[in-house]
Amino acid sequence: MHPRTLASLDQLRAADWFRNVGICDAENAIVLGSWAEAIASCSSTNWENLCLEAANQYCERLVERSPDRFSAWNDVANDVKPSVVALVAEKAAHVVAAHALPKVFVDTVNWDILHLAMEAEFADVYPPGFYASQAFWYLNGHFPCGWDGAFPEGTLVVY
């Protein structure tokens, strides 16, 4: 793993994820009021499609700038994924247990953190974007889980 990826994961490891869920402390996001709302939002087709499109757009930029580097995407993902899965399991275990959260929650967080790590791995080819911005919310104790409006206009939804 690249040192910048390790640094990103270390920064996330040091943070207290989900400590501010439901607290309206963000002026630039809609803050939901319950885990039920957050789960409904993160499992919505609109949010899933937006996240997939963000990953696809990043990959398209990589292919344009360096087809050779992009050809290593799957190998890099396979290298990074075990560290991400372990980190997410560690950081999410308490809220999953306390609130009986469904698998879609852990899947969503794994997707976010894996793609954050992938953006870090390939930052020398194309700068991090959507998933790096998602990390901001995890670092600040929230769960990014939706979008209100037509992207890129509109507002991020967090819990």
Q: Supply the DSSP symbol for 1.
A: -
Name the 3-class secondary structure at 30: strand
Tens-level pLDDT at each residue, the chain (159 residues) = 999 999 999 999 999 999 999 899 988 999 999 999 999 999 999 999 999 999 999 999 999 999 999 999 999 999 999 999 999 999 999 999 999 999 999 999 999 999 999 999 999 999 999 999 999 999 999 999 999 998 889 999 999
Name the 3-class secondary structure at 155: strand
- Sequence-ordered list of residues with C-beta below 8 angstroms from that of 96, at least 6 positions apart, any chain: 105, 106
Taking the C-alpha atoms of residue 48 and residue 40, their distance in angstroms, rounded to an integer, is 11
